[in-house]
Amino acid sequence: MENNKPEKTIRAGAIAVTIWNNTAQNKEGLVTQYNNITFERRYKDKTGEWKSTNALRINDLPKAQAALQKAYEYLVFKEQVSA
């Protein structure tokens, strides 16, 4: 398995949206490149240890929306530049 590194991470407070660049090959050998987007919320648990989750609280929604919008804009404008 390849060690896939993030293409870009966008942060808004405790929210992080990460863009991953992936490659797939079908049975005919055709290679396709595509992006996946993941998000997480970082927090400290009761012992002070950092944890992450993809569950959001209501107050996280505006930051998640802003970070996802920036990720979308990044991908759209990147696509336009390479076209």
Is residue 38 a part of any domain in this protein? yes
Tokens coding 29: 């050998």
Please report where in the chains the tokens 């929306």 appear, as a residue. 65
- Asked whether the predicted pLDDT for residue 14 surpasses 50, the reply is yes
> How far is it, in rounded angstroms, from Cα 64 to Cα 17?
8
Is residue 22 a part of any domain in this protein? yes
pLDDT band at 69 (very low <50, low <70, confident <90, very high): very high
Report the number of distinct structural domains present in the chain: 1
Average confidence (pLDDT) over 57-80: 94
What is the β-pairing status of strands 6-12 and 50-53?
Answer: unpaired
Give me the chain's average pLDDT, please: 91
pTM: 0.81
Is residue 1 a part of any domain in this protein? no
- Asked whether the predicted pLDDT for residue 2 surpasses 70, the reply is no
- Asked whether the predicted pLDDT for residue 3 surpasses 70, the reply is no
Is residue 32 a part of any domain in this protein? yes
Give the residue numbers spanning the domain of 46. 6-82
